[in-house]
Amino acid sequence: MLKRTTIRNWTILLGSTMTVLAAATIAPALPEMSRFFKDAPNADFLVRLVLTIPGLTIAISAPFVGILLDRWGRRPVLILSVLLYGLTGPSGFFLDTLPAILIGRALLGFAVAGILSGFTTLIADYFSGEKRNQFMGFQASVMAFGGVVFLLLGGVLADIGWRYPFLIYLFAVVIFPGVLFAIDEPKILTSSDQKAVSDSSTTSNLKSIALIYSIGFVYMVVFFLVPVQLPFFLTTLTGVSNSMVGIALASQALMAAIISLQYQRFKARFSLSFQTIASLIFLSVSVGYFIIGSSISFLPVVLGLLFSGIGLGLMLPNINLWLVSVIPAAIRGRAIGGMTSLVFLGQFLSPIISQPIAQRLGLPGTFVVGSGAMLFVALVLYIGGRLVNPKNAQ
């Protein structure tokens, strides 16, 4: 028999993949969906929103979810969130209009807000020190490996029909029993303790929190060029099928999974600050996007995705551990909810920002522009860290 703690930990790790599943699964189906709804007004734009509309509702609801996590507790929020996920995720398989699908996807976003904020907060509650660093790396790695599986499966199912990838959201049925029976409510500070810690710590670390939030937002705006625009770019190349789109996207996720497992060792070996690692993250994505934008065949695109996967693998554990290191325990739910909000706001805004660039410069040019933006941010973070050496950067 498995120990309850083991089931709890695997529930957190596998449950975290549900947030990747929210977007990754249907990405390979977008071109086919666009062709199916070609007669609908603004079909190309709305189909892209099908991928990213959960980001808007996550951005809106995550701060309130964070408050509920701190007031109601982690377990009740997670139970409700996983239930909602299982009900709304598969809805795209049954619905026949883009507006109806968009409504289902928007409701899915409320569930994802609770799942991502809840599981990440639990990691900070249950673990500390090196064990926390290690488990955050495990979380990012399992999420990335989940992305590999879901993207490959989504690509195969998209070849059957664009609706079938939506059925993968029934994965919630697997996670729900673990949440119900293995997740214990962690001990949290009393309300009086919360106010004292919040007043003393949060104010002093406000600049660090703002920087972390900004990094998460900017990264997601540019990173989401891959699931939003890359499937359309790849289908313009000769001989690329929906399954190959899934393979290409999965290659990035696989690289991220491998790198995430090495996060703790990498940070300790080179004694790098969180901010320096962030600059390396943006640099690797910049290199990857430049390769993608310069490619005229399938394999160079995969190479570019592998480079950007390095940054993806480091991003989640780095930004979560950085945030946890500068916030008091009593307001973890709210702080992580705020991060979740800005990260997914970036996800939602990505196609709105990138589509006009794509129409003007073409999809290859869009990735080159993204590369330049990432390089600029990498330089700003690196030089800024050297000049200011902010408190809590280590």
> How much is the pLDDT for 188?
61
The pTM score is: 0.80
Q: Which residues in the chain land under pLDDT 70?
A: 1-2, 23-24, 188-204, 388-394
**CATH number listed for the domain at residues 4-184+196-388:** 1.20.1250.20
Assign 3-class secondary structure to the chain.
CCCHHHHHHHHHHHHHHHHHHHHHCCHHHHHHHHHHCCCCCCHHHHHHHHHHHHHHHHHHHHHHHHHHHHHCCHHHHHHHHHHHHHHHHHHHHCCCCHHHHHHHHHHHHHHHHHHHHHHHHHHHHHCCHHHHHHHHHHHHHHHHHHHHHHHHHHHHHHHHCCCHHHHHHHHHHHHHHHHHHHCCCCCCCCHHHHHHHHHHHHHHCHHHHHHHHHHHHHHHHHHCHHHHHHHHHHCCCCCCCHHHHHHHHHHHHHHHHHHHHCHHHHHHHHCCCHHHHHHHHHHHHHHHHHHHHCCCCHHHHHHHHHHHHHHHHHHHHHHHHHHHHCCCHHHHHHHHHHHHHHHHHHHHHHHHHHHHHHHHHHHHHHHHHHHHHHHHHHHHHHHHHHHHCCCCCC
pLDDT digits (tens, 9 = 90+) for 181-201: 999 988 764 444 444 444 444
What are the tens digits of pLDDT across the range 289-342? 999 999 988 999 999 999 999 999 999 899 989 998 888 877 888 888 999 899
pLDDT at 394: 47
